[in-house]
């Protein structure tokens, strides 16, 4: 069965609870959220997921590999058990702005291997980016993470179903959460193109109407393949973007 997640930014407990109530009211069949770990906010992803579990059956925290010392046991297993968190997404993480925040030379592939060794029942996802490197290099990176023990992948957002078709063929047989995000201005498009080397179709338009049509097309694509999808609402209300589609 196809599953859908919405990515929520954990600015505060109050704002997170407000977002979760709105999701539960507008999309009562939505069963999953995933939450990034953003150091500019005091609420860490796992604490945000503990809050989210009061509203949805599944909450997936992002874990920054560089934040965990390699010589110590993973410190969050008891919290995960208590909160009913059974899945995580491992990312590399951006260097912190504050020099007081400790980081360690741990790559995602190393952290995935450690996590699966210490918590074999924990479902561990790895990130994959179809844009940042050549297709062959990124495919090899994704397969290396899967070989290290990752149970599946979370993609960077796609904006063209034709590219989805290519990657779905390359990753056939693997569990993938396919990502989608709205782009509602020329400046945001430039950000995706220059920062992330994203690819847009020739008919793309930075409008809510185009992004709603594409979200509907993406959902049909995902459901036809019994795959999973996550939606990352940026600079738009999730109801305005996905209302009537989920």
What span, in angstroms and rounded, lies between the C-alpha atoms of 90 and 88?
Answer: 6
Give the CA-trace dihedral at 238, 245, 230, 119, to 10 degrees: 110
Print burial letters for 29-56: b (CB count within 10 Å at least 16), e (below 16). ebebbbbbbbeebebbbbbbbbbbbebb
Contact (Cβ atoms closer than 8 angstroms) between residue 20 and residue 245: no
Residues pairing with 91 in the sheet: 64
Contact (Cβ atoms closer than 8 angstroms) between residue 33 and residue 59: yes
Enter the tokens of residue 96: 């912190």
Contact (Cβ atoms closer than 8 angstroms) between residue 38 and residue 12: no
pTM over 0.75: yes
In angstroms, how far is CA 155 from the centroid of its own chain? Answer: 7
Render each residue's pLDDT in the chain as its tens digit; 246 residues: 689 999 999 999 999 999 999 999 999 999 999 999 999 999 999 999 999 999 999 999 999 999 999 889 999 999 999 999 999 999 998 888 888 889 999 999 999 999 999 999 999 999 999 998 889 999 999 999 999 999 999 999 999 999 999 999 999 999 999 999 999 999 999 999 999 999 999 999 999 999 999 999 999 999 999 999 999 999 898 889 999 988
Nearest Cα to Cα of residue 233 among 187, 182, 178:
182
What span, in angstroms and rounded, lies between the C-alpha atoms of 222 and 115?
Answer: 29
Q: What is the pLDDT of residues 17-29, one digit of tens each?
A: 999 999 999 999 9
Enter the tokens of residue 100: 């007081």
Helix axes 108-118, 135-147, angle to 10 degrees: 20
Contact (Cβ atoms closer than 8 angstroms) between residue 142 and residue 128: yes
Q: What is the pLDDT of residues 169-188, one digit of tens each?
A: 999 999 999 999 999 999 99
Print burial letters for 220-229: b (CB count within 10 Å at least 16), e (below 16). ebbeeeebbb
Alpha helix (H) ranges present in 31-107?
45-52, 77-83
To 5 degrees, how large is the angle CA 222–CA 33–CA 210?
Answer: 50
Q: Tell me if residue 153 falls in helix, strand or coil.
A: strand
Return the DSSP state at 142: H
């Amino acid at each position: 069965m196809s599953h859908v997640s919405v990515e929520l930014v954990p600015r505060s407990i109050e704002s997170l609870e407000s977002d979760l109530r709105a999701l539960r009211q507008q999309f009562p069949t939505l069963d999953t959220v995933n939450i990034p770990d953003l150091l500019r906010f005091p609420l860490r992803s796992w604490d945000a997921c503990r809050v989210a579990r009061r509203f949805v059956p599944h909450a997936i925290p992002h874990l920054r590999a560089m934040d965990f010392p390699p010589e110590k046991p993973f410190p969050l297993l008891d919290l995960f058990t208590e909160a009913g968190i059974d899945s995580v997404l491992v990312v590399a993480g951006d260097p912190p702005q504050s020099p007081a925040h400790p980081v360690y030379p741990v790559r995602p592939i190393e952290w995935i291997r450690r996590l699966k060794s210490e918590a074999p029942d924990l479902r561990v996802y790895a990130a994959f980016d179809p844009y940042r490197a050549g297709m062959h290099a990124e495919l090899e990176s994704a397969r290396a993470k899967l070989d290290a023990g990752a149970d599946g992948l979370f993609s960077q957002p796609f904006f063209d179903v034709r590219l989805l078709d290519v990657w779905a063929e390359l990753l056939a047989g693997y569990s993938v959460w396919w990502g989608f995000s709205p782009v509602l201005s020329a400046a945001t498009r430039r950000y995706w193109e220059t920062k992330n080397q994203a690819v847009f179709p020739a008919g793309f338009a930075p409008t809510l109407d185009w992004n709603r049509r594409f979200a509907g097309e993406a959902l049909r694509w995902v459901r036809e393949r019994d795959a999973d999808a996550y939606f990352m609402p940026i600079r738009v209300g999730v109801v305005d973007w996905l209302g009537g589609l989920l």
